[in-house]
Structure 1
Amino acid sequence: MGPQIKMFSGPQMALFRPTCELLRAVPRIFLFSSCFSTPCTALPISRCFSTTSPALDWLTPKYQEVSKSPKGRPHVPTGGSSRGTTVVWGDYGLRMKDHDRRLPAHSLKIAEETIKRRLRGMNYTLYKRVSANIGVYTKGNEQRMGKGKGKFDYWTAKVAVSRIVFELKGDLHEKVAREAFRLAGHKLPGLWEFVKKGEPPVVGLTKLGNGVTLESLKRARRSPALGAENLPTPPKSTSSSPVASQ
Structure 2
Amino acid sequence: MMQPKKTKFRRAHKGRIKGNTKGGSALNFGQFGLKALEPNRVNAREIEAARRAITREMKRQGRVWIRIFPDVPVSQKPVEVRMGKGKGAVEFWAARVAPGRIMFEIDGVPETVARESLRLGAAKLSVRTKIVARIEGL
* 1:151 counterpart (86, 89, 96): 89
Q: Does 1:181 align with 2:118?
A: yes
Please report how far the alpha carbon of residue 197 of structure 1 lies from its aligned counterpart in structure 2 after TM superposition.
Answer: 1.4
* 2:9 counterpart (45, 49, 66): 66
- The residue that corresponds to 1:49 in the other structure is none
Alpha-carbon contact 1:69-1:134 (below 8 Å) kept:
yes
- The residue that corresponds to 1:91 in the other structure is 31
Alpha-carbon contact 2:35-2:131 (below 8 Å) kept:
yes
Please report how far the alpha carbon of residue 169 of structure 1 lies from its aligned counterpart in structure 2 after TM superposition.
Answer: 1.5
- The residue that corresponds to 2:132 in the other structure is 195
Which structure has the larger Rg over C-alpha atoms? 1
Please report how far the alpha carbon of residue 149 of structure 1 lies from its aligned counterpart in structure 2 after TM superposition.
Answer: 1.6
Q: Does 1:112 align with 2:82?
A: no
Q: Identity over the aligned pairs, expressed in percent?
A: 33
Q: Which has the higher strand share?
A: 2
**Equivalent residue runs for 1:123-142 within 5 Å:** 124-142=62-80
Please report how far the alpha carbon of residue 73 of structure 1 lies from its aligned counterpart in structure 2 after TM superposition.
Answer: 2.6
**Equivalent residue runs for 1:1-246 within 5 Å:** 59-77=2-20, 83-97=23-37, 99-122=38-61, 124-170=62-108, 172-198=109-135
- Matched position secondary structure for 1:167: strand
TM-score, normalised to structure 2's length?
Answer: 0.88
TM-score, normalised to structure 1's length?
Answer: 0.51
- Matched position secondary structure for 2:123: helix
- Structure 1: runs of 5+ lacking an equivalent: 1-56, 200-246
d(CA) in 2 for partners of 1:146, 1:121:
49
d(CA) in 2 for partners of 1:121, 1:137:
35
* Pair 1:70–1:82, CA change in 2 (3 A): closer
d(CA) in 1 for partners of 2:19, 2:81:
32
Structure with the bigger RCO (C-alpha within 8 Å, sep 6+) is 2
CA-atom RMSD, angstroms?
2.0
Q: Matched residue pairs, number? A: 136
